[in-house]
Structure 1
Amino acid sequence: MSGRSDSIRVQINKSKTRFTTNLLWKNNEKWVLGSIIPLVLLIIWEAAARVGLIEAHLLPAPTRIIQEIFEMGAGGTLFSHVGATVFRVATGFFLGTIAAVLLGSAVGYFTVLEKLMDPLIQAFRSIPSLAWVPLFILWMGIGEPSKVTLIAVGVFFPVYLNIVSGIQGVDRKLIEVGKIYGFTSTETLRKIILPASLPSFMVGLRSGMGLGWMFVVAAEIMGASQGLGYLLVVGQNTYSPELIIASICLFAGIGKITDALLKILAERSLRWQDSLSNQR
């Protein structure tokens, strides 16, 4: 009897261990799989640099770049540069998103406003980002307002387009259901249109954040004294490829973190959807 109890206890412990392992793998699967290719590329890069296949003055080894980042951190300059860039992106992202939500909601909901405003906005969207730089410097100088405004412009267009597309793509049958239930225009907007357009809006936020990180480079190149874009200019002027690539890696890492946060927000906001991603 005692042997049978021990056998059952062993089976229970094995089941618990298997369940815990499966749970840990499920929670970390995307991080593990997503890190395989970057790690392989880093190993190849490091090996090629050590055997001399890659010239150090053109493309330093990953260990040299990591050393450069740690040296900036030890010197106290890393966090000031990262903080300045993150502040500019966050401020520009907030302002651009607010403007896009207000204007995009109105244009998407009211046909008259779409006919009046959308052609002009689409024309502005075709203007390259660097074309705004001299104009913003002329209007606002080389201080923070011009940089934040340039980032906000970059964020505005993808968020605006996705909001308009999301609102105009709402199924008319849902609107008819709201009319059957006697919803007012405000209730229809709040209970039907906004939830139905939320997936498109979240895609717009992620796209806007990505463009915000792209536009901050142009913003910081135009006369900044701090920021990761400023480090790119310093690395170019001082012929320091390790500083340039370190700044690019920091852009990539912080940009990935912000995108991951927005993705988590989107997943939690859209749990009510019966979608393929929610079934995985």
Structure 2
Amino acid sequence: MTGKERTKRFLLGALIPVAVLVVWQLAVVNGLVSRQLFPPPTSIFRDFYDMLMSGELPHHLGISVLRAMIGFFVGGGLGLLIGLGSGLYKRAEQVLDPTIQMLRTVPLLAITPLFILWFGFGELSKILLIAMGAFFPLYVNAFLGVRNVDSKLFDVARVLEFSRFHQLTKVVLPAAMPNILLGVRLSLSTAWLCLVVAELMGADQGIGYLIQDARSYMRTGVVFVGIVIFAVVGKLTDSLVRLLESRLLQWRDSYRG
């Protein structure tokens, strides 16, 4: 993709957010909405700048990102390994999949009070909640990725006398990569969602805590700053995975619109 194409794509993607900000600003300036409930974007930008310069925002953002990444790598890593194992071995599927599918249907909000009772309000309960949320998307997509591999490829691998390791690295992973990367994207978004739940339920640091504290003191602008930070960081992580997709899946000749 050329620089001109990237610029065009960025401008098209920014069209709706910029339009919303302009309409929002005009609505507040003309008194159509309450400044207390919907502070103008210029006021929110000032709050963002003040928090950035004071170091408050980088401090809380760093803690939230660390929690999300630890939870993602723990839960997502286990989901990937168990999903690949269940996909490769029918016996593993028969033993593990029914229990995992049952747990997958339990709402995370219903489990959160249990995590707090068992592990308290410390870091462990937050990371475990994030890990649980990140586990299921990668498990499901890794499992489906393996099961969607053409069986003829396994026949060819057996003819070539590939070991199980070479079957995994040269046949299964390349063919399952589209599903696995989709699972990574879904897992990251779920990790961010669980991070918000964990920090809003009980934390003394992090963006979720910042939002909860600002709500208590009616600092609506700070609440919007926190929401925007979650949205921007979530979009950045998703874009990184999409960049990885474009590098690893160059061999695909799929429809691009």
TM bucket (normalised to shorter chain) is over 0.9
Query: Does residue 24 in structure 1 map to residue 19 in structure 2?
Result: no
- From 187, 192, 196, give the equivalent of 1:213: 192
Measured after TM superposition, the shift of residue 29 of structure 1 is 2.3
Query: Does residue 146 in structure 1 map to residue 125 in structure 2?
Result: yes
- From 152, 171, 179, give the equivalent of 1:200: 179
5+ residue gaps, structure 1, are: 1-21
Give the letter aligned to residue 178 of structure 1: A
Query: Does residue 118 in structure 1 map to residue 97 in structure 2?
Result: yes
Structure-2 residue corresponding to 1:4: none
Q: RMSD of the alignment, in Å?
A: 1.5
Give the letter aligned to residue 65 of structure 2: V
Q: TM-score, normalization: structure 1?
A: 0.88
Measured after TM superposition, the shift of residue 68 of structure 1 is 1.0
Q: Distance in 2 between matches of 1:110 and 1:224?
A: 41
Structure-2 residue corresponding to 1:37: 16
Query: Does residue 93 in structure 1 map to residue 72 in structure 2?
Result: yes
Measured after TM superposition, the shift of residue 74 of structure 1 is 2.1
Map residues 1-280 of structure 1 onto 2, 5 A cutoff: 23-277=2-256
Q: TM-score, normalization: structure 2?
A: 0.96
- Residues 191-244 of structure 1 show CA distances to partners (whole Å, capped at 9, x for unaligned) of 111110011000000000001111001111232111111012112211222111
Measured after TM superposition, the shift of residue 76 of structure 1 is 1.8
Q: Distance in 2 between matches of 1:105 and 1:181?
A: 22
Q: Percent identity?
A: 38
Aligned length: 257
5+ residue gaps, structure 2, are: none
Deviation >6 Å, runs of 4+: none
Structure with larger Rg: 1
- Residues 97-146 of structure 1 show CA distances to partners (whole Å, capped at 9, x for unaligned) of 11111211111111111111111111111111122222222222211111
Measured after TM superposition, the shift of residue 168 of structure 1 is 0.7
- From the superposition, tell whether residues 265 and 23 of structure 1 become closer, same or farther in structure 2 (CA, over 3 Å): closer
